[in-house]
Chain A
Amino acid sequence: MNYFSHVLTHLRKDLQLEWRSRDSINGMLFFSLLVVVVFSLAFDPTAAMSRQIAGGILWVVLLFASITALNQAWTRELRNRVLDAQRMSPAPPSAMFLGKALANFLFVMIVELVMTLPFLFFYNLHALGQGWLILVVMPLGTWALVCNGTFFAALGLRTRNREMMLPLILFPISIPALLGMMQATTAILTGEFEPGLWINVLIAYNIIFTLVCLLLFETVLNAE
């Protein structure tokens, strides 16, 4: 088996597990719906104002929603000591990481697709900039959150208060990426400035941190 078939096997396994329970997608969906409603209630924005703030709110919602799913991502592997078995297997550990990160990426993308409509309705949005660019920004931003998030979830797996640990280390590291996604989204929605620079920031961030995660995952998996 080569590297990519390992990745595919892990991806298929995670998708299958999720398909059977649908825990994390349902949880994320309802959670993000709630946060969208609460923010909309709290600010009651006009169309012009919501263009200014929607970029920020969108990514805060996705950040919180993906935290809830990422916390569960590795606990599945702890049951029946699956993770220990995987540590002993000769398959490359980074393939397991990549498979899981891709699976989480797909889950969050599905949530984004479903959430588009409520978001547009509650915030009265239509983009004044180049609307199609959102199709570039969404996957880039999602990967930036999910790749590091999956890595840090594994890092915090054997810590006390595991659930609390993930946001504590994920948020500070993700701030340049968050700034990039929020600025790019706001640029697209308001049309006041060019999103190109921020898309480049996201691309650079993704390349750098994906490489670092792949290189260091084995160290984290065998930390003892």
Chain B
Amino acid sequence: MQRSRILGLVGIVWFLLTVGVLAQATRMGLLLAPTDALQGNVFRIIYYHVPHSMLSLLFPYVNLFASLFYLYWRQRDPLKALNADAWAISSAEVTVVYATICLWTGMLWGRVTWGIWWTWDKRLTSMLLLWLLYVSYLMLRKLSATGQTQTLAAVLSIFAGIDVPIVYMSIRWWRTQHPAPIFLSGDPDAKMDPSMLPAFLWNLAGWTMWGIFILVFRYVLERRRQARDEDAALLAIEASLEMAK
């Protein structure tokens, strides 16, 4: 009881901190960062678009590793396996949310700067594919019969994890229009101006904290649902034993 109370308190403090960081990040992004020389104020969408795209490439790893752990523990330690499965579903849902925001902000930005909503460019297509894969993962979880959902979903997650690099490479050979990444790229012209960096980092920190918050929040919800199901199953067993007497 004591432990869960402390964890609840940590959650509230984390939430308030996140809101604070996001407020500061929004102020930096919309008001303090300089206007872009070429694109004007539209450029400010980068402070939302790029952190979301980076994070939506990160959460699938949580899902993949949770699924691998689930399959490993499935018969060895079912309680740990359930725990891993709760991480798997929460990270898949957060992935879909972040990828959706990334696609939407990207399309808005593309409409203004390229004049089109959508193009079959390598990064856009890979992100759309990632989104499709995780939506199909959630569909499978919804439609499969109880009792095997977790195993089937874990198997699909491994397929998705293997598919993403193949998708990325094959689409890279296909075509490209999206600008080169502004971080970790060799092209000096493509780098972000240092005066914009603080606003970007604040936003990255804020959206990472928010992502972790909703991830853990969803995880706790899933654990409660699991506990409720277990209680219901135990009650049913007890009731059937009573009947047998």
Contact = CB atoms under 8 A, between A and B. Distances in A.
Given A155-B156, A216-B158, A176 B143 contact: no
Interface residues of B, number: 28
B152 A155 contact: yes
Contact of A223 (B136, B139, B148): B148
Given A172-B136, A175-B129, A197-B173, A158 B166 contact: no
Q: Would you call the interface of chain B mostly helix, strand, loop, or mixed?
A: helix
B144 A172 contact: no
Interface size on A, as a range, is 20 to 34
A216 B155 contact: yes
Contact of B145 (A160, A175, A197, A220): A160
Contact of A168 (B139, B162, B163, B166): B139
Given A159-B144, A160-B143, A172-B133, A223 B163 contact: no
A169 B170 contact: no
Given A172-B136, A173-B133, A220-B152, A158 B144 contact: yes
A219 B155 contact: yes
Contacts of B140: 155-156, 159, 165, 168-169
Interface of A: 148, 155-156, 158-161, 164-165, 168-169, 171-173, 175-176, 179-180, 183, 197, 201, 204-205, 208-209, 212, 216, 219-220, 223-224
Nearest 10 interchain pairs by C-beta: A223-B148, A172-B132, A159-B144, A176-B170, A223-B151, A176-B166, A172-B133, A159-B143, A169-B136, A176-B167
12 contacts: A159-B144, A159-B145, A168-B139, A172-B129, A175-B132, A176-B170, A176-B171, A179-B170, A204-B166, A205-B166, A212-B158, A223-B148
Interface of B: 71, 129, 132-133, 136, 139-140, 143-145, 147-148, 151-152, 155-156, 158-160, 162-163, 166-167, 169-171, 173-174
